[in-house]
């Protein structure tokens, strides 16, 4: 299980430059911006590969680990996913200091693009972001 923070630099622990996960990420995370750091957020996926049939669904879980006072709504942004593939839920509210494991359902329409894609699964709040790789294969 691998995880990587989207953040690129910290200045005296007070400012953070976020490099967005991609254009599919919310606007604020797709541009480098200096923002206050409030804790940190780690992300771990239960698997690095997921297969599903067109018209079907599969699931995995994401564990979010808040630290240093982090709390708030975390939005999920799968980057580079096949057309016709959706992820649910799209966000979660994190409170407290314990790691939270969220089941994620991946659904493919009957006309979803068949093939394998390297997806970056991003979890982002207004001031923190984390990402992890996920390979998704949609078959007939």
Fold of 4-139: Immunoglobulin-like (2.60.40)
pLDDT category at 8 given cuts 50, 70, 90 is very low
Percentage of residues in the chain having pLDDT higher than 70? 73
Rounded to the nearest integer, the mean pLDDT of the chain is 78
pLDDT category at 24 given cuts 50, 70, 90 is very low
Tokens at 7, concatenated:
């953040």
The answer to whether 5 and 129 are in contact (CB under 8 A) is: yes
Asked if the model's pLDDT at residue 33 lies above 80, the reply is: no
Asked if the model's pLDDT at residue 3 lies above 80, the reply is: no
Q: 39 — alpha (psi -120 to 50), left (phi > 0) or beta?
A: left
Q: What is the pLDDT of residues 72-110, one digit of tens each?
A: 899 999 999 999 999 999 999 998 888 999 999 999 999
How confident is the model over 12-28, as a mean pLDDT?
35
Taking alpha carbons only, the member of 55, 49, 75, 80 closest to residue 64 is 75
Residues β-bridged to residue 92:
74
């Amino acid at each position: 299980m691998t995880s990587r923070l989207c953040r690129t630099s910290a200045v005296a622990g007070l400012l953070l430059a976020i490099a967005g996960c991609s254009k599919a990420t919310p606007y604020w995370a797709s541009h480098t911006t200096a923002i206050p750091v409030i804790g940190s957020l780690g992300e771990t996926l239960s698997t690095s590969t997921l297969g599903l049939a067109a018209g079907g669904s599969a699931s995995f879980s994401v564990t979010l680990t808040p630290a240093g006072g982090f709390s708030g709504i975390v939005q999920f942004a799968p980057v580079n996913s096949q057309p016709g593939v959706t992820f649910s839920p799209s966000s979660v509210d994190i409170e407290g200091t314990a790691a939270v494991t969220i089941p994620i359902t991946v659904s493919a329409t009957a006309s979803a693009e068949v093939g394998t894609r390297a997806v970056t699964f991003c979890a982002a709040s207004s001031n923190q972001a984390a990402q992890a790789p996920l390979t998704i294969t949609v078959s007939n």
